[in-house]
């Protein structure tokens, strides 16, 4: 109970600190929807099935962008700051701070995904029941977790300068090869063969399963494996940073 209160306190402070920078919030939250409007809207308007599939793909793109990119880069910049040093002196275990970061990152991602959903509702024949929308967002909460951990891993294993290009490349490549920008069947054959193993594709499969187009359990299992792997990489990165910074 006490630990949960700590996670909440850390998540709250992290969220408040970010939400008050309009220059950060607006582009972060609006960018995925803008991308959706520019490139996929014409395509999505053609038929309800296409609208459903692309909308969900961009919900994934929104969450991955915020969690992997924004929070990954954020860690790389923050980890040397005096405030981080102070947080380490407070009586809170490292895992509580990690959990808080996951919570605030996923919440931010959900905000960006909501904007995508609103644009889709307004301009495409997207057709989900309320229950389906709710399922999508519950799945989205869970699906965001491994991507925060990938972001944290990038943040701890790269310098603050390298983090931006590396996270950008990871974000865009995973989005493309995961089939978020075009139907997976239209990807080049080679990409098609690796696509099902990528976390972005598994996340998209998880959401597409709402329509019965994919197997939710398989997707969840894949995301679970990525969660474990990147939790370990992030934790090792954190320890390594601790050793070099406070040796």
Partner 1 sequence: MNERTVLTLDALGKSYGAIRALDALSFSVNSDEIVALLGPNGAGKTTALEIVLGLRDADSGSVRLFGSSPREVRIRRRVGATPQQSAFPDMLSVDEIARFVAAHYPRPAPIATTLEEFGLAALSKRRAGTLSGGETRRLALALAFIGDPELVVLDEPTTGLDVESRRRLWSVVRARGNGRSILFTTHYLEEAQELATRIIVIEHGRVLFDGVPRELRERVGGRRVTYVGRDGPVAVTTLDADQYVRTMVSSGVDFQNLEIVHPSLEEAFLSLTGGAK
Q: Please report, as ranges, the residues that interact with partner 1 according to CB under 8 A.
A: 5-6, 9-10, 12-13, 16-17, 20-21, 81-83, 85-86, 88-93, 246-247
Question: Between residues 217 and 247, which has the closer beta carbon with respect to partner 1?
Answer: 247
Q: Give kind and range of the element (H or E) at residue 204.
A: helix 199-208
The DSSP code for 22 is H
C-beta of 94: minimal distance to partner 1 in Å? 9
Residues 6+ apart with CB under 8 A from 2: none
C-beta of 90: minimal distance to partner 1 in Å? 5
CA–CA gap between residue 120 and residue 214 (Å, rounded): 21
- Burial environment of residue 217 by CB neighbours within 10 A (0 to 12, 13 to 18, 19 or more): exposed
Question: Between residues 46 and 81, which has the closer beta carbon with respect to partner 1?
Answer: 81
Whether the Cβ atoms of residue 142 and residue 202 lie closer than 8 Å to each other: no
C-beta of 246: minimal distance to partner 1 in Å? 5
C-beta of 175: minimal distance to partner 1 in Å? 30
C-beta of 4: minimal distance to partner 1 in Å? 11
CA–CA gap between residue 187 and residue 204 (Å, rounded): 15
Q: How far separated are the first and last CA of the chain, in Å rounded?
A: 33
Question: Between residues 10 and 201, which has the closer beta carbon with respect to partner 1?
Answer: 10
C-beta of 19: minimal distance to partner 1 in Å? 8
Question: Between residues 94 and 221, which has the closer beta carbon with respect to partner 1?
Answer: 94
Whether the Cβ atoms of residue 59 and residue 136 lie closer than 8 Å to each other: yes
Question: Between residues 89 and 129, which has the closer beta carbon with respect to partner 1?
Answer: 89
Question: Between residues 94 and 162, which has the closer beta carbon with respect to partner 1?
Answer: 94
In whole angstroms, how far apart are CA 239 and each of 14, 242, 243?
21, 5, 6
């Amino acid at each position: 109970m006490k630990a949960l209160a700590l996670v909440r306190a850390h998540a709250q402070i992290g969220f408040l600190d970010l939400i008050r920078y309009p220059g950060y919030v607006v582009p972060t939250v609006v960018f995925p929807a803008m991308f959706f409007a520019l490139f996929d809207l014409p395509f999505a308007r053609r038929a309800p099935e296409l609208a459903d599939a692309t909308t969900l793909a961009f919900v994934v793109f929104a969450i991955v962008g915020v969690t992997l990119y924004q929070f990954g880069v954020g860690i790389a910049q923050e980890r040397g700051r005096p405030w981080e040093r102070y947080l380490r002196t407070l009586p809170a275990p490292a895992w509580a701070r990690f959990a808080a970061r996951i919570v605030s990152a996923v919440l931010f991602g959900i905000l960006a995904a909501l904007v995508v959903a609103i644009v889709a509702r307004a301009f495409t024949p997207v057709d989900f029941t309320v229950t389906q929308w709710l399922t999508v967002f519950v799945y989205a909460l869970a699906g965001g977790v491994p991507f925060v951990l990938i972001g944290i891993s990038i943040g701890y294993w790269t310098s603050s300068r390298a983090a931006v290009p590396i996270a950008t490349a990871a974000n865009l490549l995973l989005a493309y090869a995961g089939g978020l920008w075009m139907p997976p069947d239209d990807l080049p054959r080679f990409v098609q063969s690796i696509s099902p193993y990528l976390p972005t594709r598994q996340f998209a499969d998880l959401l597409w399963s709402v329509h019965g187009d994919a197997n939710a359990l398989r997707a969840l299992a894949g995301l679970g494996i990525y969660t474990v792997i990147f939790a370990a990489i992030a934790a090792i990165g954190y320890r390594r940073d601790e050793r070099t910074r406070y040796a």
